[in-house]
Structure 1
């Protein structure tokens, strides 16, 4: 089973039309009740300089053979940002046999030993590697202490989307859980557009959709967000609040993997709390133990309220 790219394309374009008002686009609204929010198809076609029929065929996914000029014009009319523009191009172009071959070749996610050593050496910085479908592939002890004991989880559960939407502890860990949930869903949708032939993506989306309305609500927003940089406020059960930034480094030879490292403002209370968490982590990490990802997990899992 694969992502229905035509359906995804139509839903994406309709969601972007809905966020634009005629007056925002320099069009006159001559009144009359609108059946849908935002711009009508005819108005969008006018702004893009394409025929209404041409745009309707694009939005309905009748064909995936649109020229770059048409896609550029539609992207400008919809005021898409760089991430959204790339998503449109991926959805609106044919998926070749070469693409399918690369898709199959990249299904297996492996973290280089050198990258694992880099995580271990950054003992005072919570850091982890995230791969396809928000899978957490590797981490250091401080990341496990900050977020969750990844090593105590079965591999299938080492997934940011599953953790955020299915693990009750995450709701108390993030001060703005709704914001974090929206970011994870937006990143997962971007990843799904990059790999429409991945059945694991479809399985994950179906699982989260069936688990409750919260994922369905944020998924229906059709937000897209790459993991680049930002900040989150954590409410940690051991050291209290930590206001941490994060920076993301995408691997040049494997763009599906990204190294995420947290940062903290020098001299802030959060820096003190992070140092305390690092001490707590070292005291609760065994000197000897199995190598591999499990060796990066703390042995005492924090008990979170709720």
Structure 2
């Protein structure tokens, strides 16, 4: 059964809520990671379902999910469920199998993972479930890949509709669905279902979108259900700690606040997991400093 998403209290004057992704804390037990984020003052967590953090394929998933829900509630943390675990389905192929794989049985395994994620998200009271298309397999025609993606997402969107949890698709550099324009192609193909939303990665906007990150936020606002944030350089898909890239963050956060976005804005540093507590500790003060530029009382209408 779907629950009302948690909106953790925000101690600042701005309306934004910041989280940190567990894919950047993979050396910590999940309970320790959640306690760390609460102690640091984060409003929530981007929970990547993986073998070390609420394994979606292990036995007793429902019971383990209830335990995590109680822990999140006790710590006052909101949550978005993310599905970007590298090897949770295939120990030898990163992000495999995907929604675009030639083998229908392989595609079905990814669909099953996403449906499981929707159920977990509903039981956690999550804001959304994040996913991505995957890379077009060698030898696959583009039109065939788009057809596979639309067909594979159909049962996931049905599950999301029944659960009352948005599915937030992320444009990912190098994937079939790589840009905001690609998201709109998928949305049109599927008939603009209510359950289909967007994950916007601010670094990806800097990397390859023609618009600035702040303008991407404004353009994406009606469909925005989840936000990931980190620094990045133009043309280089490398997630960087804040200050190591080229992004001007105050305009980005002001744009988010102006749209009325109320779900989590989650720091995405998976390749810095070896020093996860250090970067989690550095990231939140940086975001709070950047958010001080947001005029007090700036609130829009949530999409």
The interval holding the TM-score normalised by the smaller chain is under 0.3
Radius of gyration: which is bigger? 1
Give the number of the structure with larger relative contact order, counting CA–CA contacts within 8 Å between residues 6 or more apart.
2
Structure having the larger proportion of residues in helix: 1
TM-score where L is the length of structure 2:
0.24
TM-score where L is the length of structure 1:
0.24
